Structure 1
């Protein structure tokens, strides 16, 4: 494959085939962004994406049960679950539902299982899987030659994701948890959430580099923080509920920074997989 063919292939792996509800939600966000931006170039790009999604809804097949999830869907779902847990960790409720109620206790345990399982999916070495590792293995040389990241960082990412150096039972506590405790009943090892974050930081950067290389930045794909905690008002007072939203947004912002931050230089880079729009309000005092 040449570079353009590889990019087309990678975009298909990242997005895969989406369900109708997901496509319509993406379309709604793009239309909203298009209405508020006054940047001609961005408006044109958004119009192209809107048209593409509208045509996709009319013509393309929607996902069925025998098709894999897209890498984007896995990555963004992982982040949002972790962001919710992060918020629950930071906010101490007067009602203490996680101490008193079985449902909340089971939810927090299940969230850990889910996050570790998704990390396992993203780093699976089987070439048949639609994983981040498989995508990197196929595109890594083209990415190296493109200069989208430094040679030093490319070497580090390639070593971390393509080989089994890091994402193994020995080096990754998330993978050890997934393999030894979730997939098999070999041990009762349970990692801390900070252990899982160590893996998410690496995956964020790998996913970001792949996204930047193959496609335009996308508008913020994350669910609204209030929406994420909707229905829990009976267990958290107004101030606690606001704090949950605040901490959820904080974690999502951290993830966005991990996406931009070089694993070698340790500093945020210019390019991001997410579209950032600036709205300028112009005031003309003499205009009637």
Structure 2
């Protein structure tokens, strides 16, 4: 079987730190003991074609990529010092970050660095990842030069091996377009949530974790994202819902239904992001930003 000799192309994507033999051995141990994660979005119809993890070779570089994937799909257990809830990166970045219109990681190598108005700065991909750790994971940032950060970036770059420019993205990034002029109806959202969402995420939004194993993520409460996260914004959450939910019935909801559901669950009790008052320092904050 053909194996991707990732070390051959690695230099064109990012600078790999020099790891000690001890670090390499630790990575191998972590990977050999990695839990089996059920990928509920594996059959998502909008999954992008990417290089396959199974085709990686046995090099240390490939182990780093495998470790990055593990951190994406088992985040809160693998990184307990950085995650203060029970979410994984793949809770939103579906099918291991490979689903179009579910904020895929494919193409991040040509998207970043870029200017983001939320902090009015040029952000690197590491900045963007740490923003997710502080907001979506309600936690603490990774050290930029850490093995964990380099593994996550390496995994994203591996998925993006065939992406050479923004022209190759073909509109796959971000979420679907949603009508932001729609007025949310919280009462209707509560009803629709009970009909279409509660069987997985539970009526109280606390998610489903049978026997302390991850199944369906919390969308409310202390185990969910904080109010500074993108998913705490009505129209951002609605765009995700519209394109991706319910799993197996993607696209069945109207814009209005998605907006109503998003408003309802995003405004349920959740952690507060202490620094959100500093967002959009140059103005222009979207109307659904939490205050």
What is the TM-score normalised by the length of structure 1?
0.29
Rg: which structure is higher?
1
What is the TM-score normalised by the length of structure 2?
0.28
